[in-house]
Every structure is written in structure tokens, then in C-alpha cells.
Amino acid sequence: MAGQSSAQARFMLHDAFERFSATVTPDDKRDFANTKLKDVRDEAIRIERQLRARRTQKNMARLEPFLRGMEHYSKVVEVLCNGTPYLPWVWAPVKLMLTVRRLSPPFLASCQEREPAYPPLIHA
């Protein structure tokens, strides 16, 4: 039985997948369907390089423990998602958040000015 997910866990994943999938555009669905944990790590490295080049690298070291945690988390998620299309949909939103961070520094800077409570999220 080890390594197999219960019927209830599979149902919950299917239900969450269907609800989430209904909110995503067809183009994003195609992108999401191919996303892997490696893509998340690659995006974090791209951000780090871009920020280093601009000498604005702040708090990127905090991403490494997060990414290591995601790798440990992936082992459980892979068991639950075995034989399903769900696994890429776990990593795609994480990559999307990193991409938004990389592409939107002016927006994030304005958020920081308006909402001092959010800097830990903005600088992650």
C-alpha cells in the first residue's frame, strides 16, 4: 500500500484540479501542462541573475530553502499525482509567481511603498 493514494485523496485532487483549471485561460493551460519543478528552479535562477546584473539582488538567498522544501514536498505530491495530469499544475503557479516577480519590479516597488506590511512577500 505504501506509495498509493487513497480514493478520497484522489477525489480531492481531482476536484481541486477541475476548479483551478476552470479559472485558467487555454494558453496558460498549455503552459501549465508542461511545467516541472525544474522550471521553478530555473526561473528562480533567472531572477537571481537578472537582479545581480542590476545590482538589486535582495533576499534571493531566502529562495534556496524554499526550493529545497519544494523538492521534499514534490516526493509526496508525485505519489498523489501519479498517473494524473495534476503534477505540472502544482509547479506552474509557483513558477508564475516567480515570473511575475521577475517581470514586474516597478509594480512590486509601488506595492512596497503602499503596503509596508508586505515586504517579506515582495522581496522574496
**What domain count does the chain have?**
1
Residue 29 counted as domain residue: no
Residue 44 counted as domain residue: yes
Q: Going by C-beta distance under 8 Å and a sequence separation of 6 or more, which residues neighbour residue 110?
A: none
Residue 40 counted as domain residue: yes
Q: Going by C-beta distance under 8 Å and a sequence separation of 6 or more, which residues neighbour residue 8?
A: none
- Predicted confidence at residue 101, as pLDDT, reads 64
pLDDT band at residue 86 using 50, 70 and 90 as cut-offs: confident
DSSP result, 6-42:
-HHHHHHHHHHHHHHHTTS-HHHHHHHTT--HHHHHH
Q: Is the pLDDT of residue 97 over 70?
A: yes
**Reported pTM:** 0.63
A 10 A CB-CB count for 40 gives 26
Residue 79 counted as domain residue: yes
What distance in Å separates the CA atoms of residue 45 and residue 64, rounded to the nearest whole number?
A: 10
Q: Is 83 left (phi over 0), alpha (psi -120 to 50) or beta?
A: left
pLDDT band at residue 19 using 50, 70 and 90 as cut-offs: very high
Q: Is the pLDDT of residue 53 over 50?
A: yes
